[in-house]
Amino acid sequence: MSTAPLSLAKITWRHPQTGVVQEFVLAEGATATIGRQAGNDICIPEQHVSRQHAVVTYREGIFMIDDLGSANGTFINDQLITESFPLASGDIIRLYVPILYFSATVTEEDQRNAEEMGTLITATISTGKGKLIITTGPQEGTTIPMLLNTITIGRATSKATWEVGLQDPSVSRPHARLQLVDNTWVIHDLGSANGTLVNNTPVTEKGRPLRDGDILTLGSTILLFRAG
């Protein structure tokens, strides 16, 4: 029996210089990062695009797009977005200059082509391994592998004892703790002055389980969580 993922959407981009069309097919549950830096699921090598610019995530049956604190902003149908935005078929995603097209129509041929070209983006299975990608601030583009079962994050100081130091004066000393529980990462705020947010929602004392593509805000720093 086939176990091929159910493909629900596609994002298309035409390179302005070469005219080459790139089509990325998103399967159910997929997370797709968009940015200038190699290693993004959708790499747009254009000067107006930030290294980590935006992320598309699958939440409760729909694809949502979030800006990752990019320098020039993310626009949907020419409207600047400042929070999670639900994508609908026909929406135009503009990364200040580059334009991408979102469609909820995916044919079998689209899926075959994406499989052959390596542009089929599927859901990530959490194995307890993960990484944090800093998308804003002095350490923008830095990837932090999550190799321990408990990781504490705080402001970078000469006497810091935590595993991850952020060069951000609005981050507390320490600020938050990540713990691996049954292959799921859970984040806890440590009584920080400015709080810890996940997808713009404050983390309570009980902590918050993380899903692939979640956006963490600590002070003025934004980090993207990738599972798997």
Strand partners, 187: 178, 208
Strand partners, 133: 143, 224
Q: Is the pLDDT of residue 193 over 50?
A: yes
Question: Percentage of the chain with pLDDT > 90?
Answer: 90
Token couple for 45:
């090598």
Token couple for 84:
């999670």
Predicted confidence band of residue 1 (pLDDT cuts 50, 70, 90): very low
- pTM of the predicted model, to two decimals? 0.93
User: How much is the pLDDT for 85?
Assistant: 98
Question: Percentage of the chain with pLDDT > 70?
Answer: 98
Per-residue pLDDT tens digits for 24-34: 999 999 999 99
User: How much is the pLDDT for 3?
Assistant: 60
Strand partners, 196: 218
Per-residue DSSP letter, 108: H
Per-residue pLDDT tens digits for 36-77: 999 999 999 999 999 999 999 999 999 999 999 999 999 999
